[in-house]
Amino acid sequence: MTQLAAYSTSTGEAVQFWVLGTVAVIGALCTVFMKRAVHSALCLAGTMIILAVFYLANGAYFLGIVQIVVYTGAIMMLFLFVVMLVGVTAADSLKETIKGQRWLALLCGLGFGILLIAGIGNASLTQFDGLAQANAGGNVEGLAQLLFTKYVFAFELTGALLITASVGAMVLTHRERTERAKTQRELAEQRVREGKHLPPLPAPGVYARHNAVDIAGLLPDGTPSELTVNRTLRERGQIRDVSAEALKDLKALEQRSEARLERTRSGEASK
Amino acid sequence: MNPVNYLYLAALLFTIGASGVLIRRNAIVVFMCVELMLNACNLALVAFSRMHGNLDGQIIAFFTMVVAAAEVVVGLAIIVSLFRSRHSASVDDASLMKL
């Protein structure tokens, strides 16, 4: 039984592999092909959680937990923060700068994948020992023993790396204010000098029933005014336009009144 | 099931990540694809560790995670500062080192 288990995995693990492996590949494909960066990030987080399950199934208990805590917990949340900071205008441009680059890239990817998978298929991977012996004293204990003896120098270097990275991040994102902040009076004077919008910006919303902030107010001639909507919503393209709806309502009202007039007219005729 | 299947899955994920790096323009998504490639490598390392019956592969996967964390911190800081100066997160716009 142990001899058999040494060369192949249990049926339960096979079922888990095929089900979760499919989901992981779909998640990876969604990461690449989703239009919005937030959706990509969420798909990637799902793939990483599935990889954590695979680590646990492979006997890497410590790495499985670290994968969830560090990758999906910290790194992906950092990604989501940056998507929130940057993503307002970060729509992917669909214009190709190099002609046919997408198809060439797909072709390269396909060729690379075939090479890689054929390479694995040709390798003689007959050895399969399992981690039962290595994990006998506990997975974390075994890792710690290796980490603090054989790999202790690399481990110390990672400390230096982490310090450098955190200092680097602070230096890169820190911005020194080079000029004095403008006072309210100076801002008001500048506004008068420019002479574009002396009064406050107009409020969004149309009539009493459309007073949501994402609906542009209508000008006297029925066209929506972009000025009334918040700049962030404008850049995201999340403005709802009700001008067409208002015109349609008006037309419907006219038709209804006509129909009513006709009815009264026909009523008079019958009298 | 043959445990080599884990290696095939890792190769597939690595390929998808590499194609994503080539196809996408949004710097954040490109970066996520790089993370996907790193994760695929980790999966292969963990599978190798199980095949050979020692924990060295897991140690190297652990170091990969640490390096990936440091890389993400610096990379995202670069993306944020690029976005501040150029108001765009497209990799095409950042073809020059200076403004």
| CATH code for the domain in which residue A69 is found | 1.20.120.1200
Task: Look at residue A218 and give its three-state secondary structure.
Answer: strand
- The residues pairing with A215 across neighbouring beta strands, listed in sequence order, are A240
Q: Report, as an integer, the average pLDDT of B17-32.
A: 90
Look at residue A141 and tell me if it is in a domain: no
Percent of chain A at pLDDT > 90 equals: 32
Q: Tell me which residue range forms the domain holding A251.
A: 202-270
Q: Report, as an integer, the average pLDDT of A191-206.
A: 79
Residues A223 and A120 in one domain: no
Distance from CA of A180 to the nearest CA of B (A): 19
Residues A127 and A229 in one domain: no
Whether A187 and chain B come into contact, CB under 8 Å, resolves to: no
- The pLDDT of residue A207 is 62
Percent of chain A at pLDDT > 70 equals: 87
Work out how many CB contacts closer than 8 A connect A with B: 245
Q: Which residue of B has its CA nearest to A93?
A: B25
Of the partner residues B19, B32, B84, the one whose CB lies closest to the CB of residue A105: B19
Q: Which residue of A has its CA nearest to B51?
A: A128
ipTM of the complex in this document: 0.92
Give the lowest-confidence range in A178-187, B5-14, B66-75: A178-187
Helices A37-57 & B27-52 angle (0-180, nearest 10):
10
Cβ contact A59–B50 (<8 Å): yes
Cβ contact B77–A172 (<8 Å): yes
Mean pLDDT across chain A, nearest whole number?
Answer: 82
Taking Cα atoms as reference points, which of B23, B28, B35 lies closest to residue B90? B28
- The pLDDT of residue A271 is 46
Does A240 have pLDDT greater than 80? no
Look at residue A148 and tell me if it is in a domain: no
Does B69 have pLDDT greater than 70? yes
Chain B neighbors of A168, CB-CB under 8 A: 73-74, 77
pLDDT higher at A130 or A171: A171
Q: Report, as an integer, the average pLDDT of A210-222.
A: 74
Residues A4 and A124 in one domain: yes
Rounded to whole angstroms, the maximal C-alpha distance in chain A is 108
- The pLDDT of residue B99 is 59
Do residues A243 and A224 lie in contact, with contact meaning Cβ atoms separated by under 8 Å?
Answer: yes
Does B94 have pLDDT greater than 90? no
Look at residue A247 and tell me if it is in a domain: yes
Cβ contact B90–A78 (<8 Å): no
Residues A231 and A127 in one domain: no
Does A209 have pLDDT greater than 70? no
Look at residue A16 and tell me if it is in a domain: yes
pLDDT higher at A172 or A223: A172
Taking Cα atoms as reference points, which of A99, A13, A90 lies closest to residue A55? A13
> What are the CA-CA distances from residue A49 to residues A27, A33, A193 (Å)?
11, 19, 57
> What are the CA-CA distances from residue A31 to residues A145, A228, B31, B35, B36 (Å)?
37, 35, 11, 11, 9
Does A93 have pLDDT greater than 80? no
Do residues A241 and A230 lie in contact, with contact meaning Cβ atoms separated by under 8 Å?
Answer: no
pLDDT higher at A87 or A224: A224
Does A4 have pLDDT greater than 50? no
Does A3 have pLDDT greater than 80? no
Residues A197, A228, A90, B73: is their CA dihedral positive or negative?
positive
Whether A65 and chain B come into contact, CB under 8 Å, resolves to: no
Look at residue A217 and tell me if it is in a domain: yes
Does A2 have pLDDT greater than 50? no
Q: What is the pLDDT of residues A44-84, one digit of tens each?
A: 999 999 999 999 998 899 999 999 998 888 899 999 988 88
Q: For A211-234, b where at least 16 C-beta lie within 10 A, e where not — what string?
A: eeebbbbbeeeeebeeebbeeebb
Chain A neighbors of B92, CB-CB under 8 A: 93, 97
Q: What are A4-13's contacts with CB under 8 Å, separation 24+?
A: A5/A130, A6/A128, A6/A129, A6/A130, A7/A128, A8/B1, A8/B2, A8/B3, A9/B1, A9/B2, A9/B3, A11/B1, A13/A57, A13/B1
Total tally of structural domains belonging to chain A: 2
The number of CA neighbours under 13 Å toward the Cβ of A213 is 5
Helices A11-33 & B4-23 angle (0-180, nearest 10):
0
Report d(CA A231, CA A240) in Å as an integer: 14
Of the partner residues B22, B28, B58, the one whose CB lies closest to the CB of residue A83: B28
Look at residue A120 and tell me if it is in a domain: yes
Look at residue A162 and tell me if it is in a domain: no
- The pLDDT of residue A208 is 55
- The pLDDT of residue A128 is 76
- The pLDDT of residue A1 is 39
Mean pLDDT across chain B, nearest whole number?
Answer: 89
Does A88 have pLDDT greater than 60? no
Does A42 have pLDDT greater than 70? yes
Q: Report, as an integer, the average pLDDT of A196-212.
A: 72
Look at residue A208 and tell me if it is in a domain: yes
Residues A35 and A123 in one domain: yes
Distance from CA of B61 to the nearest CA of A (A): 8
Q: Which residue of B has its CA nearest to A168?
A: B74
Residues A31 and A122 in one domain: yes
Chain A neighbors of B95, CB-CB under 8 A: none
Give the lowest-confidence range in A15-29, A120-134, B84-98: B84-98
Distance from CA of A76 to the nearest CA of B (A): 9
- Looking at CATH, the fold of the domain delimited by B4-86 is given as Helix Hairpins (1.10.287)
